[in-house]
Amino acid sequence: MSSEEKTRITVDIYGNQYKLMASTSTNYMKRVAEYVNDQMFRIAKGYPRLDSQRIAVLAAVNMADECFRMNEMVEQLNKAHKEQETSLAGYEKLLQAYNELKQEHEKQSLLIQQHQTDRETLLQQYREEKETLVQQYQREKEALIQQHLADQEGLTHKYSQEKQSIVEQYQADKETATAQHQEEKTSIIQQFQEQQAGIVQQLNEQRTSIIHQYQTQIDALLEQHQKDRETLAQRLIDEKEQLLAQAQREKEELMQQTLHDEALQRELHRVQDEYKELREEYAKLQTEYNEWIQLVETDTPGR
């Protein structure tokens, strides 16, 4: 492109004059210059201590960032456009498939109508055949009923004859079984009576033996009980005499000792208490002995 085809313009950016030359319109170049100027003033307002060079660099960075963002948006739009074209192609395929299915559906509808016509024809034939079969079945049924009645009469007559024969046979068997049962009953009764007599005799013998053994054991127990009773009585009498003699001796010894000593006096009281306790113990033993004797005499029958 030659220099005569380009547009020249002087613009003001951040207080400085710049001469620009481009192949675009004047308005477009002014808009670009105004955009750069706005970016620099916006950064200068946010960062008032920065010089113009750094402000220009930051403005360039911001515009580069916006440029990259715009490029990404353009790429996304292109991608979406391609996807839309792909979807459109898929839609056309679906539309074609729909048309094919529609044609197939029309064919199926025709087949269904044909099937309905054939079904009605077959149904009419079935009804006619059914009517024919029903009439034939009715005739066969009547014939079977007549045959059944005839067979029933024959079977009834035959059953009556067989029943009479069975009754006569049963009566004869019953009489035979009754006679046999009576004979077996008589034999069983005789055997039972014989066994009963033997069992009674055996029980009497066992009873006599048991009574004799029991009487012998009772006599032995009574004899042993009498011996134990006499031995216990003699032992109690001996213990009584020993206790009385010992108490008498202790009493005489205590009476001979001096009573001035307090210790001896307490010992005397203790001995007297022991003597009293011994007499009480002896009385208890005597009571228990008498009760035991009464109990033995009560438990011993025939004595």
**Running along the chain, 303 residues long, what does each successive block of 10 average in pLDDT?**
70 91 90 94 92 92 94 94 90 87 87 85 85 85 84 77 78 80 76 75 75 69 75 79 81 67 77 87 85 75 56
C-alpha dihedral (160, 166, 167, 171), degrees to nearest 10: 170
Query: Count of alpha carbons within 13 Å of 203, Cβ hemisphere only?
Result: 6
Instruction: Decide if 6 contacts 22 (C-beta within 8 A).
Output: yes
User: Residue 222 carries which side chain, given as an amino acid letter?
Assistant: L
Which residue is associated with the tokens 């008032």? 48
What is the structure's pLDDT at 82? 92
* Cα 275 from Cα 73, distance rounded (Å): 134
* Cα 217 from Cα 236, distance rounded (Å): 28
User: Residue 215 carries which side chain, given as an amino acid letter?
Assistant: Q
Question: Any residues with CB less than 8 A from the CB of 10 and at least 6 apart, and which?
Answer: 17, 18, 19, 20
The reported pTM is 0.31
What is the structure's pLDDT at 299? 67
What is the structure's pLDDT at 1? 45
What is the structure's pLDDT at 225? 65
What is the structure's pLDDT at 157? 81
